[in-house]
């Protein structure tokens, strides 16, 4: 098979594919085509879509390759599809972030961080298949330990968990140092 033919076929497969396709799977379909060739084809396609500013982009997500629409066209696509976007509440998103960074983690541990009950949010996340029970913790009651799913990676366009945005160090977030001789605000107000 000519390289150009293979490239064309790879593009067709990604077009019809349901979900991200791994390099492994593609190699399998093309009768154990050379991985390196496939990889270079994928990279080429990715660059072509990008550089020609096409309406379709190829992204590396959840361990595979997938064709997605260009972000710039989001409004038109939404209008066309007419669906209601599933908006995620702040509580859901925060809980999901905790699971993502701290997995495997129990519900009680999540609640300790958020300071509130997370029953409802956990149900939503489980229903949307963004998290799943991965094991049981070896403590009294043997509670479930939760982790994220490939759907989570797809939702946030992540290649894998190691590509999660780096969690800021606690100190980095806090405001700049206030000089020591300044009165705290509560004392200022009382004078």
Partner 1 sequence: VSTKVQLEIFEGPLDLLLHLIKKNEVRVTDIPIAAITEQYLATLELMQSLSLDMAGEFLVMAATLIHIKSRELLPEGDEEPEPDEDEGVDPRAELVRRLLEYQRYKEAAAELEQREVLTRDVFVRATAPVEEAGPREFREISVFELLGALKRVIDRLPKDIVHEVMLEKITVREKMTLLLDRLRSESRIVFESLFSEVQSRMEIIVTFLAMLELVKVRAIRVFQDQPGGDILIEAAAGMDQAAEGIVLEEAEEKQDGA
Q: How far is residue 96's CA from residue 99's CA, in Å, rounded to a whole number?
A: 5
Contact 104, 85 (CB under 8 A): no
Hey, which residues between 143 and 162 contact partner 1 (CB under 8 A)? 154-158
Q: Which stretch binds partner 1 (CB under 8 A): 22-30, 39-47, 137-145, 177-185?
A: 177-185
Query: How far is it, in rounded angstroms, from Cα 133 to Cα 146?
Result: 4
Cα separation, 26 vs 168, whole angstroms: 37
**Interface with partner 1, residue 186, by CB under 8 A:** yes
Among 2, 4, 18, 31, binds partner 1 (CB under 8 A): 18
Of 139 and 173, nearer to partner 1 (C-beta) is 173
> Of how many residues is the chain composed?
191
Is position 168 an interface residue for partner 1 (rule: CB under 8 A)? yes
Q: Which residues make beta-bridge pairs with 56?
A: 69
Nearer to partner 1, 88 or 133 (CB): 88
Cβ neighbourhood burial of 9 (10 Å; 0-12, 13-18, 19+) = middle
Q: CB-wise, 37 or 132, nearer to partner 1?
A: 132
Distance CA(17)–CA(72), nearest Å, equals 23
Separation of alpha carbons 66 and 10, rounded Å: 11
Shorter beta-carbon distance to partner 1: residue 5 or 186 = 186
Interacting residues with partner 1 between 28 and 87 (CB under 8 A): 57, 59, 66-71, 74, 77, 81, 83, 85-86
Round to the nearest angstrom and report the end-to-end CA distance of the chain: 84
Binding of partner 1 by 108 (CB under 8 A): no
Binding site for partner 1 (CB under 8 A): 15-16, 18-19, 57, 59, 66-71, 74, 77, 81, 83, 85-86, 88, 90-91, 93-94, 96-98, 100-101, 113-117, 154-158, 164-165, 167-168, 170, 173-175, 177-178, 184-187, 189-190
């Amino acid at each position: 098979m000519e390289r150009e033919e293979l490239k064309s076929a790879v593009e067709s497969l990604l077009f019809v594919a349901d979900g991200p396709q791994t390099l492994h799977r593609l190699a399998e379909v093309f009768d154990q085509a050379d991985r390196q060739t496939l990889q270079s084809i994928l990279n080429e396609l990715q660059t072509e879509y990008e550089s020609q500013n096409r309406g379709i982009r190829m992204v590396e997500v959840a361990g595979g390759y997938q064709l997605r629409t260009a972000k710039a066209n989001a409004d038109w696509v939404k209008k066309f599809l007419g669906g209601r976007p599933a908006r995620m509440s702040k509580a859901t998103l925060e809980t999901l972030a905790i699971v993502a960074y701290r997995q495997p983690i129990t519900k009680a541990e999540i609640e300790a961080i958020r300071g509130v009950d997370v029953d409802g949010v956990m149900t939503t996340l489980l229903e949307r298949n963004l998290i799943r029970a991965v094991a049981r913790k070896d403590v009294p009651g043997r509670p479930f330990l939760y982790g994220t799913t490939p759907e989570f990676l797809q939702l946030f366009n992540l290649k894998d968990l190691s590509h999660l945005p780096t969690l800021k160090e606690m100190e980095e977030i806090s405001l700049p140092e206030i000089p020591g001789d300044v009165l705290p605000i509560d004392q200022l107000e009382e004078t």
